[in-house]
Structure formats: C-alpha cells, structure tokens
Structure 1
C-alpha cells in the first residue's frame, strides 16, 4: 500500500477523521499497539484491546466512512508523538497489522525480536492456526530500526501481519460496529496463543 502522506504532521494537517486511543499501565513493561486500527486494517483494534489486561495499549484508528487507507502510514514513517513516547517507555512492543488476502487464513511474524516472533509462530501453530516467520528479505520482515515497533527501550519488537481472511474469521459480523460484539472462539484462541508467549517473555 502506497502512503498518501510521508509523516504524521502532514496527515494531521489534511485529515480529521481519526482517533487515538491509549491506555498506559504504570506497572506494565510491554505495550501492544497498532498504527492501522479502526477502518484502516479492520480487526486489529479488537486484538489490541484484548491485551489491555496486562499491557499498555495504543491505537491510531481510521474513522472514515470510506477510504480509510488514506490514513495509512507505513510503520517506518509512523511518527505520531504519543505513540513514539509510549513505545519508548516500554521494554518490549507487539504490533498488530493486516495484509490483503481474502482466501488464506494466515499470520506472518516479524520484527527485531526474532526469537519472540518465532515462539509466537510455534504457539499459533500448536493452537491450530497457519503462521510463519517473515522471510529474511520479505516485505513483512519488520526489522528496520525505524519501524516504531522496534523503538522500545530494549529495541525488542514483534510485528504480526494477519491476512484479511484470518481477521474476518475472528468475528461473526465483520463490520465496524459488529466486530466489537461478535468476537468468536477463533478470536479468543488466537489471543491466548499470542499471550502465552508475549506475557512470558523475559
């Protein structure tokens, strides 16, 4: 996806139909977030909220009735000030993203924390989900230091890219309003598989 804007300041000057949701837990050493919530990459906001029991969370959410992709900023360009401050205050970070594939339910794990990404892939597979580690030179590798997920205090970041089909499978009603109240067993099994790793990492 090609970005319409090169940085958040330009986006902010031109757009208003978005919102920022953030909850910081004082005792939390890890943060779960997405720069592409709401209508930008549908289904990732609900995943982030599922981690609010033990983690700080942050969401940049597209609220347009259409064309939410205009609000997409690539992770290496995502410089929204609140997000940067929050990520840099935590030891480790986990980011949820979505990619377009309406046929295959699948997750691609990347980020600077290769061991953590690999462990999540194994946990997801054990739970019955299709998952793989991002290819070394693949577009979902997510290991660049400028990627916001890798800017935590310990530079530990895990990036999970979920296909459209996988995100759609989490909900009985895959609409903006319907997703909030229609999470199904698939959603909760997926979240628990990720938590088993992310909550127990050193």
Structure 2
C-alpha cells in the first residue's frame, strides 16, 4: 500500500531537523569551495568574497590567501603586498604577481568559511596556479596549533614555512631570518607542512610551491589597529620587513628560472 498519512506527516516534520543537521555539519567546514559557493544560506559579498588579478604578461609566481579576511586575519593584506600592491591603495610597486584570495566578510563566525587548501577547487585559483612556475600561499595559525604534536617554536611570533618547493622554502626561511623574523622549516609538521600535491600552492607547472603559516602574535605585530577595516591602513615596519623578505626570496628564485 502507499505511504500512510501519519508516515507522510512524520516525514514532513522531520525535514527541518535534517536541514538543521546539514547546516550544523556545514558549519564545521566545507570540503571544497564549490560546496561553499553552492550553499544557499551564504551570500557572496556579504558572507564571503574573492579578489583576484591575472596580468596579461606571463608571470612566473602566483600569490594566494585561501583564508583571507576574517578567517585568518592579516593574510589578505600580506597577499596583496607580496604580490606588489599596497593593501590600502592597491597601487603597484616593483615587480607584480598574479594573485587570488578568498575572504570571510562577516563581523564574526568567519571560521565556518574555512576550506582546506587541498579542497581549493576554485576555477580561477586553479588556473592561476596551473599557469605559474611558482606559488606562495599565506596562512595564519595559533601558537598552540603550530606547536601541537611537533616542537616548541623559537619565538611565538614565527613563520612556519612549508610546501613542496624545497628551493623556495629555503630562500624564504633565509630571507625572513635575515630580516630578524623567526622562521622554521615546517616540512615535517604533522598538519601544517603544506606538502600535499592537491594543495593549491603545489598545483603549479613545477608541482611545487611554498606555504607560509604566520602565527597570531606575528600577524598581530604587523598592524597597529588589527581590525578588518583598519589593518590595511595601519601596517607596521614588521609587516613591510616580512613583505620585503618574501619578495626578495621570490625574486631570487625567479632570477634562476628561464623566461617562458
């Protein structure tokens, strides 16, 4: 026989519970950006946004901030500056690079928008990485996350440098250290190593890039007013020392590579 009226009404009554369960699961994180983009509960320009730029001339290095805005605060500004653009004015200076960032735009709750770097299936981001020899991705982490199941950091304000490009990884560590910024090789870190082939930073023509995890104290020292509205306007000398070191490391590697 067909479904009884009681069972039918029971199914209807259960629907909101299923919806709430699905929403709760999504709040714990999205597997891919496609999953996030498809969520009807989220609005582009309200909950999240993207900023990107591809130059007409071939660029050997692309810069990424997969968790910008309020997700890992400060990484959007670092992405722009390392790509050669002032985070406040967007004026270019020196060598510029293609870049892409995903940003949490909420006043709170942005961590719910976190997508792992291996789940970065955004077509524009994938295209930029696939067309570049090198890639740099800026991330943020807490000191607790950095030290968990690993080892104590030399300084709470520290950069953990991972990714599959061993040459660029060494150059970045040396450049940051030379600028007086604590930096460690994170290639052996259990969760922040950035070495997975599917990581957006390693989807380059060479199959390798560098992932830079910046601790909360390090990023906090880069801005005198660490808010979404004012970070871009209140960058400190530490911010520019970090940016200059990163750009020097990239330029040094590019100088050894052929012009394609």
TM-score, scaled to structure 2: 0.74
What are the superposed Cα offsets for residues 116-153 of structure 1, whole Å, 9 maximum, x if unpaired? 11221111111111110014252111111010100011
1:45 to 71, 76, 85: 76
Which residue does 2:93 correspond to in 1?
A: none
Task: Give the structure with higher Rg (CA).
Answer: 2
- Shift of the alpha carbon at 1:52? 3.1
Which residue does 1:198 correspond to in 2?
A: 250
In structure 1, runs of 5+ residues without a counterpart are none
Which residue does 2:147 correspond to in 1?
A: none
In structure 2, runs of 5+ residues without a counterpart are 1-26, 85-95, 145-154
C-alpha change, 1:116 and 1:3, in structure 2 (3 Å) is farther
List 4+ stretches of structure 1 deviating above 6 A: none
For residues 79 and 189 of structure 2, the distance between their equivalents in structure 1, rounded to whole angstroms, comes to 27
- The one of the two structures with greater contact order (alpha-carbon pairs below 8 A, sep at least 6) is 1
2:162 to 110, 118, 122: 110
The Cα RMSD (Å) is 1.6
What are the superposed Cα offsets for residues 148-178 of structure 1, whole Å, 9 maximum, x if unpaired? 1000111120000000110110000000011
2:135 to 93, 115, 139: 93
Is the Cα–Cα contact under 8 Å of residues 51 and 57 in structure 1 kept in the other structure? Answer: no
C-alpha change, 1:137 and 1:128, in structure 2 (3 Å) is closer
